[in-house]
């Protein structure tokens, strides 16, 4: 994968440097084929427990390969109504949960047809017009469009902009878009990527020459009955009995809207887990990894990706090597998500608790802090000192620490060469390896409290090792 790094400059627009603390919220819009099966409603419930993390600008009902001629905006509004019943309680725990009427006001409908049948002259909808309106706002922040079904509503917006804007203005607007789609669920996705080759686009399309990648994002979050339970991740905490006990039953009106899993739990949720500001991910860097998975630029060489061959690099699934619950290392594209499963499931359970419990009766995430910056430069063979002593917990709970060498992310890829001393302590260290050219090493700090459920937050330290030293 490293040999395509030079393509980054031509493909990505206005990338920011890595930062663990972002003062401004991300702008987010969701396109959902809700009611094609239960998982979109499930994802909507979880999304609303985190809705204060972002400036949400649209919730658009769409079609998909599984729901070709109808949309279900009514179901989005139904779940928002349940959110409205618990919003005041959520605000006891964190600020920023938006007004219920505001959320209902940004629910929009797309053109009820499949794929490119909904793109072209006479195919405008309130959903596609809403995408254009959001892009044209006087706001320099990127607009993240999270696509849970087919992206033809976005395709129609881009088609109209292409027809009505100058080339310079079109380029400016497209450069503000960040798209994360759960697979290609109609033929408008390939059309978008082919027509707008510089568009930032994360996707898990069909089978390619490296294997069956199509299901990595969908099933990495939970596993499912058709594709196996994946021995690496703990399936029990994403199965219906756990969801009944921790989310649905006795957890208030919002939790009650999380339907029984029919095929898999929340296949669309990685799109916004990717954007949660928990200290782990960096949205402008899909290759860094997050609760929503890890992705690298890749162009398939021969075969069809679901609808047609790709002609450009695309951010798509890659592999991590992770020790699973069976104490054996597993290497898979699904591992980039299930490696964080305990943490994101506990986090969801805690936030559902927020919807019904007083502050003193619920758990809240710790604050992971460092005594040093997130970016260090050090000479080869010198000692890298890592210190998380300023970390704290709002509930005054005991904290545990883990320093994780994220081998796959940096340019230095040897697992055996990095030995973190005191990796389970607040203060840790490792000796920088010998290098002939500058190399990067990513180390993740995970800070976990001992509450119920235990919650985790992170810091990422990017160490650049330069030649020299002893």
CA 45/CA 26 separation, integer angstroms: 19
Predicted pLDDT of residue 205: 61
Q: Is the pTM of this model over 0.75?
A: yes
Q: Examine the domain organization and report whether 131 and 225 are in the same domain.
A: yes
Q: Residue 204 sits in a domain of what CATH number?
A: 3.90.245.10
Between 155 and 312, whose confidence is greater? 155
Between 21 and 161, whose confidence is greater? 161
Q: How far is CA 293 from the centre of its chain?
A: 6
Q: Examine the domain organization and report whether 325 and 437 are in the same domain.
A: no
pLDDT tens-digit series, residues 303-328:
444 556 666 788 988 889 998 887 77
Q: Given a cut of 70, is residue 30 above it in pLDDT?
A: yes
Q: Given a cut of 60, is residue 208 above it in pLDDT?
A: no
pLDDT tens-digit series, residues 177-203:
999 998 888 999 989 999 999 999 998
Q: Examine the domain organization and report whether 331 and 380 are in the same domain.
A: no
Q: Examine the domain organization and report whether 195 and 330 are in the same domain.
A: yes
CB 4 within 8 Å of CB 313: yes
Q: Examine the domain organization and report whether 113 and 174 are in the same domain.
A: yes
Q: Given a cut of 90, is residue 223 above it in pLDDT?
A: no
Task: Output the 3-class SS for the chain.
Answer: CHHHHHHHHHHCCCCCCCCCCCCCCEEEEEEECCCCCCHHHHHHHHHHHCHHHEEEEEEEECCECCECCCCCHHHHHHHHHHHHHHHHHHCCCCCCCCCHHHHHHCEEECCCCCHHHHCCCCCCCHHHHHHHHHHCCCCCCCEEEEECCCCHHHHHHHHHHHHHCCHHHHHHHHHCEEEEECCCCCCHHHHHHHHCCCCEEEECCCCECCECCCCHHHHHCCCECCCECCCCCCHHHHCHHHHHHHHHCCCHHHHHCCCCCCCECCCCCHHHHCCCCCCCCCCCCHHHCECCECEEEECCCCCCECCECCCCCEEEECCEEEECCCCCEEEECCHHHHCCHHHHHHHHHHHHHHCCCCHHHCCCCCECCCCCCCEEEEECCCEEEEECCCCECCCCCCEEEEEEECCCCCCCCCCCCCCCECCCCCEEEEECCCCCCCEEEEEEEEEEECCCCCCEEEEEEEEEEECCCC
Q: Examine the domain organization and report whether 244 and 196 are in the same domain.
A: yes
Evaluate whether residue 418 is within a structural domain.
yes
Evaluate whether residue 281 is within a structural domain.
yes
CA 319/CA 302 separation, integer angstroms: 21
Between 223 and 102, whose confidence is greater? 102
Q: Examine the domain organization and report whether 180 and 105 are in the same domain.
A: yes
Q: Examine the domain organization and report whether 334 and 417 are in the same domain.
A: no
Share the mean pLDDT of the chain.
89
Q: Examine the domain organization and report whether 125 and 177 are in the same domain.
A: yes
* Sign of torsion over alpha carbons 223, 227, 229, 232: negative
Predicted pLDDT of residue 415: 61
Domain end among 287, 315, 344: 344
Which residues constitute the domain of residue 381? 364-466
Q: Examine the domain organization and report whether 200 and 333 are in the same domain.
A: yes
Evaluate whether residue 278 is within a structural domain.
yes
Evaluate whether residue 353 is within a structural domain.
no
pLDDT tens-digit series, residues 64-87:
988 999 999 999 999 999 999 999
What's the total number of domains in the chain?
2
Evaluate whether residue 358 is within a structural domain.
no
Residue whose C-alpha is closest to residue 27's, from 112, 110, 102, 135: 135
Evaluate whether residue 91 is within a structural domain.
yes
Q: For tokens 């002609």, what's the residue?
A: 311
Q: Examine the domain organization and report whether 435 and 322 are in the same domain.
A: no
Q: Residue 449 sits in a domain of what CATH number?
A: 2.60.40.10
Q: Given a cut of 70, is residue 11 above it in pLDDT?
A: no
Q: Examine the domain organization and report whether 330 and 379 are in the same domain.
A: no
Rounded percentage of the chain residues whose pLDDT exceeds 70: 87
Predicted pLDDT of residue 117: 96
Evaluate whether residue 41 is within a structural domain.
yes
Evaluate whether residue 356 is within a structural domain.
no
């Amino acid at each position: 994968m490293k040999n395509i790094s030079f393509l980054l400059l031509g493909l990505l627009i206005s990338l920011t440097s890595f930062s663990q603390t972002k003062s401004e919220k991300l702008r987010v819009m969701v396109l959902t084929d809700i009611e094609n099966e239960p998982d979109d409603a499930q994802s909507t419930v979880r999304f609303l427990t985190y809705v204060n993390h972002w400036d949400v600008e649209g919730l658009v009902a769409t079609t998909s390969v599984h729901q070709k001629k109808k949309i279900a905006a009514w179901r989005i509004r139904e779940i928002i109504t349940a959110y409205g019943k618990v919003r005041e309680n959520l605000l006891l725990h964190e600020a920023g949960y938006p007004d219920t009427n505001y959320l209902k006001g940004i629910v929009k409908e797309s053109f009820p047809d499949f794929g490119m049948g909904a793109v072209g002259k006479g195919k405008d909808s309130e959903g596609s017009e809403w995408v254009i309106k959001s892009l044209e706002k006087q706001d320099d922040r990127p607009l993240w469009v999270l696509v849970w079904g087919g992206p033809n509503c976005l395709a129609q917006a881009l088609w109209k902009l292409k027809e009505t804007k100058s080339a310079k203005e079109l380029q400016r607007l497209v450069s503000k878009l960040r798209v994360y789609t759960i697979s290609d669920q109609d033929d408008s996705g390939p059309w978008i990527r082919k027509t707008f080759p510089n568009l930032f686009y994360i996707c898990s399309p069909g089978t390619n020459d490296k294997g069956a990648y199509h299901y990595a994002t969908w099933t990495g979050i939970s596993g499912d009955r058709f594709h196996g339970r994946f021995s690496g991740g703990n399936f029990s905490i994403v199965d219906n009995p756990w969801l009944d006990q921790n989310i649905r039953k006795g957890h208030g009106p919002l939790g009650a809207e999380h339907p029984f899993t029919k095929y898999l739990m929340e296949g669309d949720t990685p799109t916004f887990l990717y954007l949660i500001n928990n200290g782990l991910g960096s949205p402008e860097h899909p290759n860094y990894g997050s609760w929503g998975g890890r992705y690298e630029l890749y162009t398939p060489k021969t075969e069809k990706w679901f609808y047609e061959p790709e002609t450009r690099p695309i951010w798509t699934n890659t592999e991590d090597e992770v020790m699973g619950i069976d104490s054996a290392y597993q290497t898979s594209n699904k591992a980039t998500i299930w490696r964080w499963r305990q943490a994101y499931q506990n986090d969801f359970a805690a936030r559902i608790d927020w919807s019904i419990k007083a502050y003193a009766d619920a758990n809240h995430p710790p604050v992971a802090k460092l005594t040093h910056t997130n970016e260090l430069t050090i000479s080869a063979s010198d000692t890298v000192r890592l210190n998380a002593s300023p970390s704290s917990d709002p509930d005054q709970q005991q904290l545990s620490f883990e320093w994780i060498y994220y081998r796959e992310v940096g340019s230095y890829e040897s697992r055996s060469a990095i030995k973190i001393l005191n990796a389970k302590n607040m203060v840790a260290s490792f000796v920088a390896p010998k290098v002939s050219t500058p190399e990067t090493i990513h180390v993740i700090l995970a800070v976990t409290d001992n509450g119920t459920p235990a919650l985790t937050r992170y810091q990422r330290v990017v160490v650049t090792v330069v030649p020299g030293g002893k």
